[in-house]
Amino acid sequence: MHIDWFPLWLSLRVAAISTVLAAGIGLWLAWILANRSFRGKEVLDAAVTLPLVLPPTVLGYYLLVLLGRSSPLGKVYEWLFGGPLVFSWQAAVVAALFHSTPLLVKSARAAFESVDRSYERAARSLGASEARLFWRVTLPLARRSILAAAALAFARSLGDFGVTLMIAGNIPGRTQTAAVAIYDAYESGNTSTALILVLIISAVALGILLVANRLTPNPFGPRQAAP
Amino acid sequence: MIQARIRKQFPPGPDSAGFSLDLEFQASRGFTVLFGPSGAGKTLTLDSIAGFSRPDEGRILLEDQILFDGAAGVHLPPRLRRCGYVFQNYALFPHMTLRQNLEFAADRIPRLERHRKINEMLEKFHLGEVSGRKPYELSGGQKQRCSIARALIGAPRVLLLDEPTRGLDAPLRADLYSVLRQVREEFGLPVLLVTHDFEECLELGDEMIVMRDGRAVQSGTPRKILEQPANIDVARLLGIFNLLPVEIRSLDPGRNISKLRYDQFDLTGPYFPGRLIGDQVWLCIRPDNLSAVPSNGRPGMNQVPAALLRTVQKPDRVRLEFSNGIAVELEPELVEKYGSVKEWAIEFPQAGLRIL
């Protein structure tokens, strides 16, 4: 039996890239949401969460309008990289990004906010800049929860179907990710291929969840009694 | 030298009463203790100086720098204020060793000098041997000393200590006092210390400010406040006085004598200037200024009969608590001599009586 492994590799690559990008954007947004107070903060929070609750087709529609070949952003991308964004594998990264970033922002904000405020106050009173506070104090203290969140974001990126289908399409060997390939294989009666991909994806997701769970408790050495 | 005038309002909420802080004080080198019950606004005062809380109005001046000026809209961020803050829970960074904690704070010292300075601080605060450990591997006293060293290493212009002895047992407390005395001698900066323990004020305070409900009710040296509390509130807050309601029956400036009526007994005290006959006042007297003898049936001059409720052992005295709420502290030998007498006569000294 011949199995095309390309969709699986593509999915892993898309998930990895989107997780790295989501971590960058997500940590930054989460830091702002956790530390600043400004007008429209809750609107920003809601907007960041929106992709989690919108139907994938709605999100895909927006992205097609926003990034399509005739849109300004699409034109800029084409001018920069010499090819259209939509219906390329990079579009699958964008699709994954819109599913993983909200998750990361939510978890990272909670992780930042769970760091005892007195550490941040101490750092500030010791003259630390916000950047130093972030890199040397808050991020290391929240590190395990954030790694757990990144693992979940990776798993989430792996599984996107609807948005990917709408903006990256289903081009075998180019934009067909595992989730799309499973649908495709099943529809075309290729059930054994579908089953193998299903099992692999399930195993990877389960493994990631186990890792994330082990990361979540956060003891620095034995748990301390409150002073 | 720090000068502060701080006003801040918290409007009452659905499950909290309102609070307002309205405080004006200055502190120079040495220890200034903010003393008061919880909820008096002591920590809020420290937070306003450190920049964690923004007052509604007022002005905070540290040396010649304005940290906060409500009218001019100046509110420096905490990192620019150079206020060393020792937090109640120490707030040592748990993922760093002691040395790294100090390094974090010594960031602005030039690299070559930084290393020497860190070693000097570790030495000074007896942390050399444990400098490679993380906070959870340390004793309470070591954590305490490290948090003080960390606050001082960047050469702050004021040191703020928030209830540093809370949760420490007696030997650690004594250690901390000696560390703090060392800080006073070697660093020569103003230190503001928050406490609700009056003995700590006596132990450390060069000056003290008694706070209640966001206001300063009295300030001065701890000794002076102990000797002359400004009013009944201060006396109650200090928590060490017998406070008895009395009525002034007669005043004789010529013989420097007054008569006070307590319960159904007459007491003779000194003349109280500025008081009138018939005034209802509080007699304020420390337990160790009273004495007591077993009753012989009829109370004598300046004596009040009372039944003994219980005796409490103190390090160098025995405290007798009587049914009328009065406490007397006596030498242990005296109490031993009288044995298990139930009925006593409490003796009031004529000269030492103070009224509020």
Distance CA A152, CA B9 (A): 44
The strand order across the sheet containing B318-322 reads B291-294, B343-347, B303-313, B318-322, B327-330
Report, in angstroms and rounded to the nearest whole number, the Rg of chain A calculated over CA atoms: 20
Distance from CA of B83 to the nearest CA of A (A): 6
Distance from CA of A36 to the nearest CA of B (A): 13
Task: Give, to the nearest 10 degrees, the angle between helix A41-53 and helix A89-114.
Answer: 130
Residue A223 lies in a domain: no
Distance from CA of B219 to the nearest CA of A (A): 28
The nearest CA of chain B is from the CA of A141 a distance in Å of: 7
Q: CA-based angle A111:B47:B119, to the nearest 5?
A: 80
Does residue A55 sit within a domain? yes
Distance CA A194, CA B217 (A): 80
**pLDDT category, B31, cuts 50, 70, 90?**
very high
Cα gap A113→B173, rounded to integer Å: 33
Asked if the structure places residue A226 within a domain, the reply is no
B141 inside 8 A of chain A by CB: no
Structural domains of chain B, ranges and CATH numbers in brackets: 2-237 (3.40.50.300), 241-355 (2.40.50.100)
The burial class, CB within 10 Å (0-12 / 13-18 / 19+), for B52 is buried
Residue A146 lies in a domain: yes
pLDDT, one tens digit per residue, over B197-229 is 888 898 899 999 999 999 999 999 999 998 888
Do the Cβ atoms of B34 and B209 come closer than 8 Å? Answer: yes
pLDDT at A226 over 50: no
Nearest-Cα distance to chain A for B28, in Å, is 20
| Surface of B (100-129) touching A: CB under 8 A | 104-105, 107-108
Of B77, B91, B136, the CB nearest to A122: B91
Report whether A15 contacts A68 (CB < 8 A).
no
- Cα–Cα dist A157/A155, whole Å: 5
Mean pLDDT of chain B: 90
| The token pair that represents B29 in the structure block | 């080198």
For A141, name the nearest residue in chain B, comparing CA atoms only. B95
Q: Is the pLDDT of residue B132 over 70?
A: yes
Residue A123, both tokens: 């750092």
Distance CA(B267)–CA(B264), nearest Å, equals: 10
Sheet holding B158-162, edge to edge: B83-86, B158-162, B190-195, B30-35, B207-212, B215-220
CATH number of domain containing A192? 1.10.3720.10
B46-80 pLDDT, tens per residue? Answer: 999 999 999 999 999 999 899 999 999 999 999 99
A vs B, Cβ pairs < 8 A, gives: 81
User: Domain containing A176: what range?
Assistant: 6-215
The tens digit of pLDDT for each residue in B145-199 reads: 999 999 999 999 999 999 988 878 888 889 999 999 999 899 989 999 999 888 8
Asked whether the beta carbons of residue B79 and residue A122 sit closer than 8 angstroms, the reply is no
The per-residue DSSP string of A103-122 comes to HHHHHHHHHHHHS-HHHHHH
Whether ipTM tops 0.85, in short, is no
Angle at B188 between CA B187 and CA B194, to 5 degrees: 90
Touching check for B212 and chain A: CB below 8 Å? Answer: no
In a domain, A32, yes or no: yes
Predicted local confidence at residue A1, as pLDDT = 61
The answer to whether the beta carbons of residues B225 and B77 sit under 8 Å apart is: no
Cβ–Cβ < 8 Å for B168, B176: yes
Residues A143-165: what's their mean pLDDT?
A: 89
User: Do B87 and A137 lie within an 8 Å CB cutoff?
Assistant: no
CB contact under 8 A, B89 and A127: no
Q: Does B93 touch chain A (CB under 8 A)?
A: yes
Give the confidence band of B91 by pLDDT, cuts at 50, 70, 90.
very high
| List of chain B residues whose C-beta atoms are within 8 Å of the C-beta of residue A144 | none
Q: Is A115 on the interface with B (CB under 8 A)?
A: no
pLDDT digits (tens, 9 = 90+) for A7-50: 999 999 999 999 999 999 999 999 999 988 888 888 999 999 89
Closest Cα to residue A197, out of A180, A175, A172, A212? Answer: A180
The conformation of residue A137, written as its DSSP 8-state character, comes to: I
Element (H, E) at B293: strand B291-294
Measured between CA atoms, how close is A122 to chain B, in angstroms? 7
Residue % of chain B over a pLDDT of 90 = 52
Q: Over 80: is that where the pLDDT of B345 sits?
A: yes
Q: How confident is the model at residue A227 (pLDDT cuts 50, 70, 90)?
A: very low
Domain annotation covers residue A82:
yes
Mean pLDDT of A177-204: 90
The answer to whether the CB atoms of A126 and B150 lie below 8 A apart is: yes
Of A118, A123, A140, the CB nearest to B95: A140
User: CB under 8 Å to A219, separation ≥6 — which residues?
Assistant: none
In a domain, A222, yes or no: no
B199 vs A: CB within 8 A: no
**Do the Cβ atoms of A121 and B89 come within 8 Å?**
no
Tally of domains within chain A: 1
CA A38, A39, A41, A42: dihedral to nearest 10 degrees?
A: 140
- Using the Cβ of B54 and the Cβ atoms of chain A, whether some distance falls under 8 Å is answered with no
Query: Assign residue B163 a region: left if phi > 0, alpha if psi is -120 to 50, beta otherwise?
Result: left
